[in-house]
Structure 1
């Protein structure tokens, strides 16, 4: 009896299409965070720069977690290009405000993915996204706090630098995170 490859190949659903697009969204977020980190580095704010370099790696790792999930489920993966990122800012508030909006946008994207997985009866996909939903709550809260600290510092960015050192913002780790293709950086 011949093996019917079509029966073994998963149907590419709307959920998988959106998940594939999310790979690009995560890589775009990663690149935007590199641009923000470089801006802070160029402005001699090493803790803010380090924070955003780390955020960039997190977003890259999120993309690779999605890639691994797609591969594990027999879905052909295509790595998309990304749009231009913003490199110029007039104040330290602007890149953090941009980062907060980016996290809110990613949260909406992940919620849409979860709804789509549920609507299509893809319970494995829905379960996969649970970690990402929790992660986004933490990311939005963390970036909101950072923006509040910048505002309260009233231009004295050394207070913000000290806050990042003292509070270890973003150092919670990724307990229970999905496996990333190629490993986590």
Structure 2
């Protein structure tokens, strides 16, 4: 008896997204390694933590595919893009990567809605929220480098930014969690 509860298109889409999450982890690893070799250990630590988070996302997809009775297909991941040329370039690349991932998540949400696969649609809602957090985190990084001076940031400003990111929480606060008591 066939116990697969995913359509062929959703199974392919979820497997593709699983690979995309693995690739995102590699991108964060690459940028973290660049930051470390450039002397930005706080930024590096922050990016290494996000690489682990992306690997966790990959595993969520893998486990969901298995739980729905479909076949997991492990694919090769592409090499990360070129190293950043500056801290600002690094944060720009992080933001672009997160936007790209959000678009892929939205395609899966739309596909699950169109197929009326409510289990997958529900599963994907966690990723919709997560991508909102990821984009907010990336925008916050861009704001921080802008305040530090962008491409013209002084060594002192970059030192402070690097030190601050070492202890920055991994989760961004979202507007939906705010209240008049907790602005």
> TM-score w.r.t. structure 1 length?
0.85
CA contact (8 A) 1:36 1:87 kept: no
Structure 1 Cα separation of the partners of residues 122 and 6 of structure 2: 18
CA contact (8 A) 2:106 2:128 kept: yes
C-alpha deviation, 1:170, in angstroms:
1.1
Runs of 4+ in 1 over 4 A off after TM superposition: none
Structure 2 Cα separation of the partners of residues 119 and 58 of structure 1: 29
C-alpha deviation, 1:165, in angstroms:
4.3
Q: Which residue number in structure 2 is paired with residue 179 of structure 1?
A: none
Q: Which residue number in structure 2 is paired with residue 170 of structure 1?
A: 170
Unpaired segments ≥5 residues, structure 2: 173-183
C-alpha deviation, 1:11, in angstroms:
5.1
C-alpha deviation, 1:142, in angstroms:
0.8
Q: Does 1:92 align with 2:93?
A: no
C-alpha deviation, 1:24, in angstroms:
0.8
Structure 1 Cα separation of the partners of residues 130 and 105 of structure 2: 10
C-alpha deviation, 1:16, in angstroms:
1.8
> TM-score w.r.t. structure 2 length?
0.85
Structure 2 Cα separation of the partners of residues 9 and 162 of structure 1: 49
Which of the numbers 24, 29, 42 marks the counterpart of 2:19? Answer: 24
* Number of residue pairs matched by the alignment: 167
Structure 2 Cα separation of the partners of residues 130 and 89 of structure 1: 32
**Pairs within 5 Å for 1:52-91:** 52-91=47-86
Residue 71 of structure 2: SS of its match in structure 1?
Answer: coil
CA contact (8 A) 2:6 2:68 kept: no
Unpaired segments ≥5 residues, structure 1: 173-185
C-alpha deviation, 1:169, in angstroms:
3.3
